[in-house]
Amino acid sequence: MTELAKIELLRSDGKELPRGVAVISAYLKTLPNQPGVYRMINADGKVLYVGKAKSLKVRVAAYTHPERQSVRIRRMIFETASMEFVTTHTEAEALLLESNLIKHYAPRYNILLRDDKSFPYILVTHDHQYARIVKHRGGQNRKGDYFGPFASVWAVNETLAALQRTFLLRTCTDAVFANRTRPCLLYQIKRCAGPCVDKIDIADYAALVAEAREFLTGDSHKIQRRLARLMQEASNDQEFELAAQYRDRIRALTRIQAHQNVNLGKTGNADIIAGAQDGGATCIQVFFFRSGTNYGNRAYFPVQAKNHDLPAVLEAFIGQFYARTPPPQNVILGHDISNLDLVAQALSVRAGRKVEITVPKRGDKVKLVTHAVTNARQALERRLAESASQRQLLEGLAVTLDLDGMPDRIEVYDNSHISGTHAIGAMIVVGPEGFDKNAYRKFNIKGDKTGILSPSDEINKNFNSCDDYAMMREVLTRRFSRALKEGANRDNGQWPDLVLVDGGKGQLSVACEVFQELGIEDIAVAAIAKGPDRNAGRETVFRPGLSPLQIASRDPVSYFLQRIRDEAHRFAVGSHRNKRSKTLQTSILDEVPGIGAKRKKALLHHFGDARAVSQAGRADLGAVEGVSSSLAEKIYDWFHSDT
The 3-state secondary structure of 213-270, one letter per residue: HHHHCCCCHHHHHHHHHHHHHHHHCCCHHHHHHHHHHHHHHHHCCCCCCCCCHHHCCE
Core vs surface per residue 54-64: b (16+ CB within 10 A) or e = eebbebbeebb
**Would the pLDDT of 449 be above 70?**
no
- Which part of the chain is CATH 3.30.420.340? 392-583
Distance CA 248, CA 310 (A): 48
| Cα distance from N-terminal residue to C-terminal residue, the chain | 85
Helix (H) or strand (E) holding 344: helix 340-351
Instruction: Yes or no: say if 323 and 330 are a contact pair by the CB < 8 Å rule.
Output: no
Residue 154 or residue 132, greater confidence: 132
Over residues 235-249, mean pLDDT: 81
pLDDT at 77 (0 to 100): 93
Instruction: Yes or no: say if 194 and 208 are a contact pair by the CB < 8 Å rule.
Output: no
Distance CA 215, CA 220 (A): 5
DSSP reduced 3-state for 322: coil
Over residues 74-95, mean pLDDT: 86
Give the angle 18-78-376 at the CA atoms, nearest 5°.
100
Burial class (CB in 10 A: 0-12, 13-18, 19+), 230: middle
Which CATH architecture best describes the domain 392-583?
2-Layer Sandwich (3.30)
Cα 297 from chain centre? 20
CATH number of 265-387: 3.30.420.10
Choose among 284, 296, 363: nearest CA to 320. 284
**Would the pLDDT of 116 be above 50?**
no
Q: How much is the mean pLDDT over the chain?
A: 79
Residue 40: C-alpha distances to residues 51, 82, 127 (Å): 9, 6, 48
For 70, residues 6+ apart whose C-beta sits below 8 A from its C-beta are none
Return the number of other C-beta atoms located less than 10 Å from residue 71's C-beta.
10
Distance CA 397, CA 408 (A): 11
Distance CA 241, CA 245 (A): 6
Distance CA 610, CA 298 (A): 56
Q: Quickly state the pLDDT bin for 241 (edges 50, 70, 90).
A: confident
pTM above 0.75? no
The one-letter amino acid at 245: Q
Helix (H) or strand (E) holding 37: strand 36-41
Helix (H) or strand (E) holding 422: strand 421-431
Q: Quickly state the pLDDT bin for 420 (edges 50, 70, 90).
A: low
Give, as one character, the DSSP assignment of residue 170.
Answer: B
Place domain 3-105 in its CATH homologous superfamily: GIY-YIG endonuclease (3.40.1440.10)
**Would the pLDDT of 432 be above 80?**
no
pLDDT at 428 (0 to 100): 94
DSSP reduced 3-state for 8: helix
Over residues 225-230, mean pLDDT: 81
Helices (H), 14-121: 21-28, 56-61, 71-79, 91-105
Cα four-point dihedral sign 310, 314, 320, 324:
positive
Over residues 547-563, mean pLDDT: 85
For 8, residues 6+ apart whose C-beta sits below 8 A from its C-beta are none
Distance CA 384, CA 394 (A): 14
Place domain 588-639 in its CATH homologous superfamily: 5' to 3' exonuclease, C-terminal subdomain (1.10.150.20)
- Which part of the chain is CATH 3.30.420.10? 265-387
- Which part of the chain is CATH 1.10.150.20? 588-639
pLDDT at 259 (0 to 100): 43
Distance CA 451, CA 551 (A): 39
Distance CA 224, CA 102 (A): 37
- Which part of the chain is CATH 3.40.1440.10? 3-105
Q: Quickly state the pLDDT bin for 463 (edges 50, 70, 90).
A: very low
DSSP reduced 3-state for 276: strand
Q: Quickly state the pLDDT bin for 92 (edges 50, 70, 90).
A: low
**pLDDT single digits (tens) 256-278:** 544 444 555 555 678 899 999 98
Q: Quickly state the pLDDT bin for 15 (edges 50, 70, 90).
A: very low
Max avg pLDDT among 11-25, 402-416, 629-643: 402-416
Distance CA 515, CA 521 (A): 7
**Would the pLDDT of 536 be above 90?**
no
Specify the range with the lowest mean pLDDT, choosing from 180-184, 340-344, 488-492, 540-544: 488-492
